[in-house]
Structure 1
Amino acid sequence: MRVVIATCCVDYSGRLDAHLPRATRLIMIKADGSVLVHSDGGSYKPLNWMSPPARLAEVDPDEEDREAGVVSRWEVTASKTDDRLVIRLFDVVSDTSADLGVDPGLTKDGVEAHLQELLAEQIEVLGPGWRLVRREYPTPIGPVDIMAKDADGRSVAVEVKRVGGIDGVEQLTRYVEMLDRDPLLAPVRGLYAAQQIRPQARVLAEDRGIRCVVLDYDTMRGMDDPSSRLF
């Protein structure tokens, strides 16, 4: 992990174009290749970012940039698309790096952990002929909740949430990209399973080819009473 605090401006081009004017910001460069630009607000969400796999190159500023006071120019390019992030640094306040090692992943409690356990036991909820490969399947950036095979024998990485938001989609996207590098698993698809999936998360997931499934927690734990239903 590399953490840089610097006065910078940022330009993003690709699926959309965006510009962040000159200001002091936090830039995070993670071992998985992701680059995130944060302000001192907005909670955990970055102002702009590049998802992995991506490549960062530090290049000398051109004459126009030097005249504007730019001391360093970072060009971040996506490996699979034409997306490009250009960060121009004017003044570096701090620049530190640390090896965080392998993260053991989030320990889940309560409903979410039980939901994951139930889905592993009832994997055919996702489709006839599905089979469980393993819960907490390891990746270089942490374990994905469930690795499964669909009826056609294709690998599917499943992320389980109680309430599915955009952050979960981003998390699953990173897992799928990592797992897809393994020739014994590729091609790997993603499946986002939750009791409730927020509309924005569903749109983002479907745009990335990730299937969304809403889980009925009560039915899965045997608490659905057919006699109490009208139909």
Structure 2
Amino acid sequence: MRLVIARCEVRYSGRLTALLPVATRLIMVKADGSVLVHSDNGSYKPLNWMMAPCRLRESSPSPEAAAMGVAAVWTVQNDKTTDRLEIDIHEMLSDSAFEFGVDPGLVKDGVEAHLQALMAEQITVLGEGHTLVRREYPTAIGPVDILARDSRGGTVAVEIKRRGDIEGVEQLTRYLELLNRDPLLRPVAGVFAAQEIKPQARVLATDRGIRCVVLDYDAMRGVDDVESRLF
């Protein structure tokens, strides 16, 4: 992990264009090549980023850029698309590198882990015609619980929780933003699945076009006969 604090201008081009004017920001370069640009506000979400696979090239500025105070230029090019992140470094305030080693990953509680395994086996709880692509689909910010295909072949990303709250919806939103940058996957639909979904989380998910699915843990385990219920 490389952590750089610098006064910089950031330009994004590709499917869309975006500009971050000169300001002091944190630039994170991860071991997989991902580059994320953070400010000192806005919570955990980066202002802009480029997910792996991509290549970072550092170069000297043009004479015109140097005359405007640019000391170095970083160009981050996506390997699969034309998306590009260009960072003009005006002043380097800090540049540190750390070796994190292999991360063991998120350890889910027993119920969430079992729900994920059960859904992978019973993927049609999402709807007839759904098929499993894989569990723990890797992204630059962590694994998506389940990646599936719907009956029309569209990509579906599923986040599974025991109790679904707003943070779970935010987590799935971040995954969807990354996955929808991949031309081989997009458009990617989101499903927020939980045993219980809080009302605020359901409202937020619906507002963002994310489908909510309530999971019956006992029925999925085969210990509850739903056909014999009175209610």
Q: TM-score, normalised by structure 2?
A: 0.69
Structure 1: gaps (5+ residues): 179-185, 203-211
- The equivalent position to 1:227 in structure 2, one of 214, 223, 230, is 230
Cα distance in 1 for partners of 2:148, 2:40 equals 40
2:171 corresponds to which letter in structure 1?
D
Structure 2: gaps (5+ residues): 194-201
Cα distance in 1 for partners of 2:93, 2:146 equals 42
- 2:167 aligned with 1:168, yes or no? no
Which residue pairs with 1:194 in the alignment? 192
Pair 199,2 (structure 1): closer, same or farther in 2 beyond 3 Å: farther
Q: TM-score, normalised by structure 1?
A: 0.69
Cα distance in 1 for partners of 2:212, 2:60 equals 49
Which residue pairs with 1:94 in the alignment? 94
2:230 corresponds to which letter in structure 1?
S
Cα shift readout 1:125-167 (whole Å, capped 9, x = no counterpart): 246687779755789986553577999xx9x896433345353
Pair 149,81 (structure 1): closer, same or farther in 2 beyond 3 Å: closer
How far apart are residue 92 of structure 1 and its match? 0.8
Q: Is the 8 A contact 1:26 1:38 kept in 2?
A: yes
Pair 80,166 (structure 1): closer, same or farther in 2 beyond 3 Å: farther
- 2:123 aligned with 1:116, yes or no? no
Which residue pairs with 1:49 in the alignment? 49
Cα distance in 2 for partners of 1:132, 1:18 equals 35
How far apart are residue 7 of structure 1 and its match? 0.9
Correspondence 1:1-231 to 2 at 5 A: 1-109=1-109, 112-126=112-126, 145-146=145-146, 159-162=158-161, 163=164, 165-168=169-172, 170-171=174-175, 192-195=190-193, 198-199=205-206, 202=209, 214-218=212-216, 220-222=217-219, 227-228=230-231
Q: Is the 8 A contact 2:34 2:140 kept in 1?
A: no
Cα distance in 1 for partners of 2:54, 2:129 equals 36
Length, aligned pairs only: 210
Pair 110,104 (structure 1): closer, same or farther in 2 beyond 3 Å: same
Pair 133,69 (structure 1): closer, same or farther in 2 beyond 3 Å: closer
Identity, % of aligned positions: 49
| 2:230 match: secondary structure | helix
Cα distance in 2 for partners of 1:138, 1:42 equals 25
